[in-house]
Homo-oligomer: A and B are copies of this chain.
Amino acid sequence: MKVIVDLCVVPMGVGVSVSKYVAECQKVLQDAGLEHQLHAYGTNIEGDWDDVFAAIKHCHQRVHAMGAPRITTSIKVGTRTDRDQTMQDKIDSVTNGNL
């Protein structure tokens, strides 16, 4: 099952700056070979359900290993059976009026 995911990992108990943890999660996604695109409040990811969620679990493990005692993560997951759709298709459908 193909998914488009939006991921926002928030380490807690590590102070106010969390970008090094987010950067580490980008590496995890990169190493997993998943299409992903960082934005100002999360990261869009595209791939097979199992691959994407394995990578998200890996992010939690890595961020804890870096010293964060607590993590709260927000995930949005989209699946559809009516047609294939990429992350770029979703953006194009809004900006180009391909409804």
Contacts and interface: CB of A to CB of B under 8 A. Distances in A.
B80 A69 contact: yes
Contacts of A53: 53, 57
Nearest to A64: B81
Kindly state the interface size class of chain A when it binds its partner: 35 or more
A18 B98 CA distance: 11
A10 B4 CA distance: 15
Given A19-B94, A40-B88, A94-B22, A71 B76 contact: no
Contacts of A42: 6, 41, 76
B40 A37 contact: yes
Interface string A8-35: 1010110111111011001000000000
